[in-house]
C-alpha cells in the first residue's frame, strides 16, 4: 500500500500515529542537521521532517538530495509542529520520517508548480500535465465535476433521462462547418461529428421520451475566435408537451439550484426582457445587468440643432457613467480613442460632464445649450457627478459600439463583480436574420424553431419582424443557454425549409428522417442547451473557459501537448479511399 | 399547459378531480354510444371514456375518428372504473373526457407499438423513434440512465473526479484502426477519435489527479462482428499510488454497489482466478461460472490406447454434461454437427454415456474399456446420468471449441439465468501475445501495461510466459471490465516500446508526450475500463447491447435511420484538402 492517508488529512488527533504518505516534493529546506520537505498531492501539503537525532543517516542523506517534483513515499510518526502554519489544513502537525523511498525522480519542471506560476500560456499548455498539478487548475477541474454532478442529480430527480446520442452522424451544410469522418467501409462516404444533438433530441421527443438531457461533447469546425474551442461541452435538454413557460420554469429551476448549491447564492424569480428591449436598453442580446448605464436614446432631444453628425444619424444614444465627471480630459480622450479602435469602430464620441453644481458642459457646446443638455441627462438618467457618453450612427452598429463602451467602462470601474450573479431571460428573439453575404434571411436559432403563434403570415410580408418562441438565458453578460419551442407540424416545417431556401430535395436529403418522423405523431416540444464550459467558468468567477478544460486546444485548433492534428500513414489514407489535395484552393 | 398529470399518475384518490392529460392514442374501442381510448406516454396508460350522455357530441365524433399514435390533449373528470384493470397502475380509474384536442395526427405506424411488436430488426432501426415508444426499449434506456447515475454517484462519493478528455486527438497505429478527422486549418493533417482516453488518463495521474473516471464515448474502426458498435461507451477509470489489489478492491466495490442498487443482489468477495487456470478449466478467459461443466483434461487417461486421433492430439479434454445421458442419439449427433460447424471448427466429438447403473458407453468403445472410461468420468467429474463430451487437437483450438460447446449446452439447458450474477476476477494475464500475421509478439492489453515484478528478465528468454499486472472483471461469461497497473518508469516504458518493435523515432512520434511526462515525476498508477453498453445489458438481464443504445448502428456501421455515412459536398472536400480515391485499393 502506497499510503495510509493523503496529504490533506492529518490533524492534531493523529499525533503519535505511524502513517505512510506518498506525493510530490513541493520544496525542501536543508539546515544540515535538519531537513524539511513539503509533500504535496491533490488533497494538500504535509510537512515532513528529517533530523540528525531521530532519523536514520540514510534517510537524512536521501532527503537532502530530493529534487522538486520527485515522487516519494515516506513512513513516520505524526508529531506536533513547533511553529504551526495556520494557512494549511495540516499546519498543526508534521511527519517525523523514519523511512523514505524515491518512487520516481523528476527533471526540473519548465515552470514552477505554484499557485502563481512563472510559466506562460504556451509552456503551460505544452506541459499541461504539470500545469494540472497547480492548485488553481486542479480546483477548476474539480469544480467542473461538482457542477456537472449537480446538474445531473437535479435533472435526474426531476425525471429527466440522460440518453446518449450518436457521435458519428451525418453532415448538414446548414449552420457552422462540420468536422467529418471518412468511412472506410462505405467508400466515398463520410460521417459528421455533431454540432449538437438537435435532431436526435427531437426524435427522442417523437419517441415519447418527454424529458431528456445529456452532457455531451459537440464539435464545430469554425475559424476560432478567442476563447472558442473546436470541441465543447453542452448540457443539452429537451421536453415534450411543453410551452415556452414550462421550459423557462424548468431551467430557471436548474440554474437557481446551481447558484445555491455551488455558489451559496439564493436568487428569486429571474427577470425577463424581450430581445427588442435588450437591444434598445443595452445594445446587446446578452446584457450584463449587474450594473446600470442603460442606454438613453437622444434622437428627439439632439436632432433639432445644427450638429450634422447627429442630424444625419439613424440613432443618437448615450449612457450616464456614474461618477464619470471625475475623469480627466486625458482619460476621456483615451476613451474616445478606445471607441475609435477598429475592433469597436465608432467614428468619435461626444461627451457631456454633469457638474456637481448642476451645470452641464459638453464637447459640442457650440450646438447645444443647458436646456438641451438637461434633456440628455434626463434621457440617460444622469445625475450630477456623472459623465454622459454619446455615440451616433447606424442603429445596429452604434448600439454594438455603445455596448462595448459600457462593458469596458464597467470592467475598468470594477462593476463586473465575479461573486455577484445576475441571471436574465431574453425572450422573443427574431426568427430570422438577414445575411449580407447571401442576401437572404437565415434562421437565427436553427430551422426547427417555431415562430410565435399567428406570425406565419408575417413571414411573407415582413420576415425580419417575425418573432420566434426562442429564448436565451444570460448570466453576467454571457449567454449561458439558449433554446426554443420547435416546430412539430410537418406542414409548417416544410414551409419553413421552403422559406429558408431549401429545395424539397435538399430538405429531404438532409432532414428527411426528421420530416418522416413528424408524420407519426410528433408531440409539441422544445428545449434548451447550456454551454457547460462557459457556465462553469462563470460560476467559478472567471470568464476564460480554457482554464476549466483539462486539455484545451489553442486558437489554431491544435493540441500542443500531444501535437495534434498530425499526418497519418499513406496506408490509412488508402483504406479511407482518400488522397491529399494540397494545392492551393 | 399541456397536462396537469402524466398517464401513469392517476389513482382512486384523484376521483372527482378535473385534470388535463396529453399523450399518444394506443388504441380505441368504439361501441357507438361509448368510445374508450387508451392514452399512452412514457409513464403509463390511462383509459379515457367518451359517452353519449356525458360527453359533447363533438368530442364523441372526434374520439371515434382517432387513429393509432395520434397525439391528443384531453380534459375531463377522473371517475372510478367499473371493471378495474389490475395490470396497470392507473387501472382503478378512467377519465370522462369533456374536451378533446388533436395535437397531431399520425400515419399508421409501420409496426405495432406494443411490447411484442410485429416489426423486424431492420424496420425497427429505420423507425427507431417509433421503436423507442415501445415500453421494453424505453425501459432499457431509462435503466441505462439509472446505471450511469449510480456509477457516477458512487465514484464521486469515493473522491473520484470525472474529467473530460479530448475527442480530437492523434492517430496511433498501435491497436485497432482509428477513425480520423481531417483538419481544415492544418492542411494534410488529421485528428483521430479516441479508441480510449488511455494516454490522457495516464497524464492526469502524472498531473496528480489521483482518482479519475469518465463515462465516455470511444471509437474503433473495426470490421464489425455481431453486436459490436463503431462507437461505444466506456466507464474509464484510473488511480495513482495504487497496486493491483487497491484497484481490484475499489472496482469490486463499484460492481457490488451496482448489483445491490440496481438488481437488489448482495454478493460477497468476488472469486479470483488466474488466466492460466481459466483457460485450463473453462477454455476461456471470461468463463461463465454460474454453472459447472469444468474441463477435465484426459491426456493421461486417454493416450495409452490405439485411438490415434487422441494419441496425436496435443490436448484431449472433456466436460460432463449434467443429466446429458438423457440426450437421444439424434440429439448427440446434432451436437456433433454443431461443434463441426466452421464457426466452431472441431473435427468431431467423442462422447461417453454414464448410465444410471454405473456402466459407461462411449462412441469409441473399440479402444476404451470400462476401466478407462471410469477415469474419464473421474477427470471430468461425471456422475451417473451425465454425458461426457470429449474434443481433442491443438490446445488453444480445442479449448476454444470445448468452451463454445459448454456455453451452447448451458444456453440450451437454461443454465445461463439472467437474474443470477456471478462476477469473477481473472488475473495474471500474459503480457504479450503472439501474432501469426506479423510473426511478432504484441502487447495483449496495451504497451503501457507493466509486467509482474521481477519478470522483465523473462522477456528476453521466454516472452510468452511473462505475466502482466493485468486483470479482467468477468460477469456471467462476459468481460465487463479490464485494466492493468501501468509502467510509470520511463526506462522500462522505453524498453517495452523497443521490445514491441517500435523504433525510438516511432515511439517518440506517437507517444513522445507520454515519455516526456514520465520524466517529470510520474506516480505509480493503474486503472480499469468497463464497457458500459455490455454492463448495462447484463445487469438488465440481456446480452444484446443494441437494445440498450438509443440510436445504434447496424453491422455495416450504418445508421439506417438518418442514412449515415453519406456523401459530402465537393466544396467540403476542397476545404479539407482531400480528393476521393475510389479506385480499387
Lookup: cell for B39: 392514452
Rg, chain A, Cα only: 30
Give the number of other Cβ atoms within 10 Å of residue A361's Cβ.
Answer: 13
CA A105 to mean position of chain CA atoms:
38
Suggest the residue from A101, A565, A576, A583 to mutate for an interface test with chain B (most B CBs closer than 10 A): A565
Lookup: cell for B422: 456471478
Contact B207 A131 (CB under 8 A): yes
Mind listing the pLDDT tens digit for each residue in A154-171?
999 999 999 999 999 998
d(CA A332, CA A316): 19
Q: Which residues contact B26 (CB under 8 A, 6 or more apart)?
A: B37, B38, B39, B40, B45, B68, B113
Question: Hey, is the C-beta of B2 within 8 angstroms of any chain A C-beta?
Answer: yes
Comparing CA positions, the residue from A97, A76, A81 lying closest to residue A12 is A81
Residue B233, classed as helix, strand or coil, is: strand
d(CA A174, CA B414): 53
Whether A349 and A390 have beta carbons less than 8 Å apart is answered as yes
Contact B207 A130 (CB under 8 A): yes
Residue of A nearest to B559 (CA): A169
Comparing CA positions, the residue from A172, A423, A383 lying closest to residue A296 is A383
ipTM score for this prediction: 0.95
In chain B, % of residues over pLDDT 90:
84
DSSP calls for A335-348: HHHHHTSTTT--S-
Comparing CA positions, the residue from A476, A537, A480 lying closest to residue A267 is A476
Strand pairing class (A44-51; A93-104):
parallel
Q: Out of A132, A148, A563, name the one closest to residue B204 (CB).
A: A132
Residue B174's pLDDT is 66
Residue A14, classed as helix, strand or coil, is: helix
Whether A96 and A77 have beta carbons less than 8 Å apart is answered as yes
Question: Hey, is the C-beta of A134 within 8 angstroms of any chain B C-beta?
Answer: no
What is residue B395's DSSP assignment?
H
Lookup: cell for B143: 435503466
Task: Find chain B residues with C-beta within 8 A of A211's C-beta.
Answer: 42
Residue of A nearest to B206 (CA): A129
Reported as type and span, the H/E element at residue B512 is helix B504-517
What is residue A548's DSSP assignment?
G
Q: Out of A22, A142, A579, name the one closest to residue B161 (CB).
A: A142
d(CA B306, CA B310): 9
Whether B25 and B67 have beta carbons less than 8 Å apart is answered as yes
Three-class SS of B423-470: EEEEECCECEEEECCCCEEEECCCCCECECCCCCCHHHHCHHHCEECE
Residue A174's pLDDT is 66
* 20-39 in chain B: CB under 8 A from chain A: 22, 24
d(CA B24, CA B113): 10
d(CA A161, CA A140): 27
Q: Out of A144, A523, A557, name the one closest to residue B104 (CB).
A: A523
Question: Hey, is the C-beta of A522 within 8 angstroms of any chain B C-beta?
Answer: yes
d(CA B482, CA B476): 15
Alpha-helical segments (H) within B179-294: 198-206, 244-263, 275-282
| pTM of the predicted model over 0.80 | yes
Give the number of other Cβ atoms within 10 Å of residue A422's Cβ.
Answer: 17
d(CA B308, CA B367): 10
Question: Hey, is the C-beta of B136 within 8 angstroms of any chain A C-beta?
Answer: no
Whether A206 and B138 have beta carbons less than 8 Å apart is answered as no
The backbone torsions φ and ψ at residue B564, rounded to the nearest 5 degrees and listed phi first, read -125, 150
What is residue A502's DSSP assignment?
-
Suggest the residue from A130, A160, A191 to mutate for an interface test with chain B (most B CBs closer than 10 A): A191
**In a 10 Å sphere around its CB, with 0-12 CB exposed, 13-18 middle and 19+ buried, how is residue B402 labelled?**
buried
Q: Out of B131, B523, B568, name the one closest to residue A190 (CB).
A: B568
Contact B551 A580 (CB under 8 A): no
d(CA A407, CA A274): 20
Task: Find chain B residues with C-beta within 8 A of A549's C-beta.
Answer: 164
Whether B173 and B190 have beta carbons less than 8 Å apart is answered as no
Q: How far B163 CA sits from the closest chain A CA (Å)?
A: 7
Contact A145 B156 (CB under 8 A): yes
* Residuewise pLDDT in 10s, chain B (585 residues): 999 999 999 999 999 999 999 999 999 999 989 999 999 999 999 999 999 888 888 999 999 999 999 999 999 999 999 999 999 999 999 999 999 999 999 999 999 999 999 889 899 999 999 999 999 999 999 999 999 999 999 999 999 999 999 999 998 766 789 999 999 999 999 999 999 999 999 999 999 999 999 999 999 998 877 778 999 999 999 999 999 999 999 999 999 999 999 999 999 999 999 999 999 999 999 999 999 999 999 999 999 899 999 999 999 999 999 999 999 999 999 999 999 999 999 999 999 999 999 999 999 999 999 999 999 999 999 999 999 999 999 999 999 999 999 999 999 999 999 999 999 999 999 999 888 888 888 888 888 899 998 888 888 888 889 999 999 999 999 999 999 999 998 888 888 888 888 888 888 888 888 999 999 999 999 999 999 999 999 999 997 899 999 999 998 899 999 999 999 999 999 999 999 998 754
Contact A200 B551 (CB under 8 A): yes
d(CA B348, CA A132): 60
* 447-476 in chain A: CB under 8 A from chain B: none
Q: Out of B152, B186, B208, name the one closest to residue A149 (CB).
A: B152
* Residuewise pLDDT in 10s, chain A (585 residues): 999 999 999 999 999 999 999 999 999 999 989 999 999 999 999 999 999 888 888 899 999 999 999 999 999 999 999 999 999 999 999 999 999 999 999 999 999 999 999 889 899 999 999 999 999 999 999 999 999 999 999 999 999 999 999 999 998 766 789 999 999 999 999 999 999 999 999 999 999 999 999 999 999 998 877 778 999 999 999 999 999 999 999 999 999 999 999 999 999 999 999 999 999 999 999 999 999 999 999 999 999 899 999 999 999 999 999 999 999 999 999 999 999 999 999 999 999 999 999 999 999 999 999 999 999 999 999 999 999 999 999 999 999 999 999 999 999 999 999 999 999 999 999 999 888 888 888 888 888 899 998 888 888 888 889 999 999 999 999 999 999 999 998 888 888 888 888 888 888 888 888 999 999 999 999 999 999 999 999 999 997 899 999 999 998 899 999 999 999 999 999 999 999 998 754
Comparing CA positions, the residue from A511, A500, A529, A515 lying closest to residue A212 is A529
Residue B497's pLDDT is 87
d(CA B67, CA B218): 42
Question: Hey, is the C-beta of B564 within 8 angstroms of any chain A C-beta?
Answer: yes
Comparing CA positions, the residue from B352, B373, B372, B354 lying closest to residue B362 is B352
d(CA A518, CA B20): 23
Number of H helices, E strands in chain B: 17, 23
Domains and CATH numbers, chain B: 12-104 (2.40.50.140), 140-164+194-272+424-548 (3.30.930.10), 291-415 (3.30.1360.30)
DSSP calls for A109-155: PSS--SSS-S--HHHHHHTHHHHTTSHHHHHHHHHHHHHHHHHHHHH
* 93-122 in chain A: CB under 8 A from chain B: 103-107, 109
Task: Find chain A residues with C-beta within 8 A of B566's C-beta.
Answer: 170-171, 189-190
Q: Which residues contact A522 (CB under 8 A, 6 or more apart)?
A: A205, A206, A488, A489, A490, B71, B104
Q: Out of A180, A203, A564, name the one closest to residue B129 (CB).
A: A203
**How far apart, in Å, are the Cα atoms of A582 and each of B186, B567, B573?**
11, 21, 11
What is residue A520's DSSP assignment?
B
Suggest the residue from B123, B172, B520 to mutate for an interface test with chain A (most A CBs closer than 10 A): B520
What is residue A164's DSSP assignment?
P
Q: Which residues contact B462 (CB under 8 A, 6 or more apart)?
A: none
What is residue A519's DSSP assignment?
T
Amino acid at each position: 500500500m502506497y499510503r495510509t492517508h493523503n496529504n490533506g488529512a492529518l490533524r492534531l488527533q493523529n499525533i503519535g500515529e505511524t502513517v505512510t504518505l506518498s506525493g510530490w516534493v513541493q520544496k525542501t529546506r536543508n539546515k544540515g542537521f535538519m531537513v524539511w520537505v513539503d509533500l504535496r498531492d491533490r488533497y494538500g501539503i504535509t510537512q515532513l521532517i528529517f533530523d540528525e537525532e531521530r532519523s536514520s543517516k540514510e534517510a537524512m542523506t536521501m532527503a537532502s538530495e530530493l529534487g522538486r517534483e520527485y515522487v516519494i513515499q515516506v513512513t513516520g510518526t505524526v508529531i506536533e509542529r513547533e511553529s504551526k502554519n495556520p494557512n494549511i489544513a495540516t499546519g498543526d502537525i508534521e511527519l517525523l520520517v523514519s523511512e523514505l523511498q524515491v518512487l520516481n525522480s523528476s527533471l526540473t519542471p519548465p515552470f514552477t508548480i505554484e499557485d502563481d506560476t512563472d510559466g506562460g500560456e504556451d509552456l503551460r499548455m505544452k506541459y499541461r500535465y504539470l500545469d494540472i498539478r497547480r492548485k488553481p487548475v486542479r480546483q477548476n477541474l474539480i469544480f467542473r465535476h461538482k457542477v456537472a454532478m449537480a446538474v445531473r442529480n437535479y435533472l435526474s430527480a426531476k425525471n429527466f433521462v440522460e440518453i446518449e446520442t450518436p457521435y458519428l452522424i451525418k453532415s448538414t451544410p446548414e449552420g457552422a462547418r462540420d468536422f467529418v469522418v471518412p468511412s472506410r467501409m462505405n467508400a466515398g462516404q463520410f460521417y459528421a461529428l455533431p454540432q449538437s444533438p438537435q435532431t436526435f433530441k427531437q426524435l427522442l421527443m417523437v419517441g415519447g421520451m418527454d424529458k431528456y438531457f445529456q452532457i455531451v461533447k459537440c464539435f464545430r469546425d469554425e475559424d476560432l475566435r478567442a476563447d472558442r474551442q473546436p470541441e465543447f461541452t453542452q448540457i443539452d435538454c429537451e421536453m415534450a408537451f411543453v410551452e415556452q413557460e414550462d421550459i423557462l420554469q424548468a431551467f430557471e429551476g436548474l440554474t437557481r439550484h446551481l447558484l445555491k448549491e455551488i455558489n451559496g447564492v439564493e436568487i428569486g424569480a429571474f427577470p425577463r426582457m424581450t430581445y427588442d428591449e435588450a437591444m434598445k436598453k443595452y445594445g446587446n442580446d446578452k446584457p450584463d445587468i449587474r450594473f446600470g448605464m442603460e442606454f438613453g436614446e437622444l434622437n428627439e432631444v439632439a436632432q433639432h440643432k445644427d450638429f450634422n453628425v447627429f442630424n444625419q444619424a439613424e440613432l443618437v444614444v448615450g449612457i450616464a457613467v456614474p461618477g464619470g465627471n471625475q475623469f480627466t480630459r486625458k482619460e476621456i480622450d483615451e476613451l474616445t480613442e478606445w471607441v475609435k479602435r477598429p475592433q469597436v469602430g465608432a467614428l468619435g464620441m461626444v461627451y457631456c460632464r454633469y457638474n456637481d453644481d448642476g451645470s452641464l458642459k459638453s464637447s459640442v457646446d457650440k450646438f447645444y445649450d443647458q436646456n438641451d443638455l438637461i434633456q440628455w441627462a434626463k434621457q440617460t438618467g444622469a445625475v450630477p457627478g456623472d459623465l454622459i457618453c454619446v455615440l451616433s450612427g447606424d442603429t445596429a452598429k452604434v448600439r454594438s459600439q455603445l455596448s462595448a463602451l459600457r462593458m469596458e467602462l464597467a470592467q475598468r470601474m470594477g462593476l463586473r463583480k465575479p461573486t455577484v450573479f445576475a441571471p436574465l431571460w431574453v425572450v422573443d428573439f427574431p426568427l430570422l436574420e438577414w445575411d449580407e453575404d447571401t442576401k437572404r434571411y437565415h434562421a437565427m436559432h436553427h430551422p426547427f424553431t417555431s415562430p410565435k403563434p399567428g406570425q406565419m403570415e408575417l413571414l411573407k410580408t415582413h420576415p425580419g419582424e417575425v418573432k420566434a418562441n426562442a429564448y436565451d438565458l444570460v448570466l453576467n453578460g454571457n449567454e449561458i443557454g439558449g433554446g426554443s419551442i420547435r416546430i412539430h407540424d410537418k406542414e409548417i416545417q416544410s414551409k419553413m425549409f421552403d422559406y429558408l431556401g431549401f429545395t424539397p430535395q435538399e430538405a429531404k436529403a438532409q432532414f428527411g428522417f426528421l420530416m418522416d418522423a413528424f408524420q407519426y405523431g410528433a408531440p409539441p416540444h422544445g428545449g434548451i442547451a447550456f454551454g457547460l464550459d462557459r457556465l462553469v467558468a462563470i460560476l467559478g468567477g472567471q470568464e476564460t473557459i480554457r482554464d476549466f478544460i483539462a486539455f484545451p486546444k489553442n486558437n489554431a485548433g491544435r493540441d500542443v501537448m500531444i501535437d495534434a492534428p498530425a499526418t497519418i500513414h499513406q496506408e490509412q489514407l488508402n483504406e479511407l479511399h482518400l488522397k491529399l489535395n494540397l494545392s492551393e484552393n
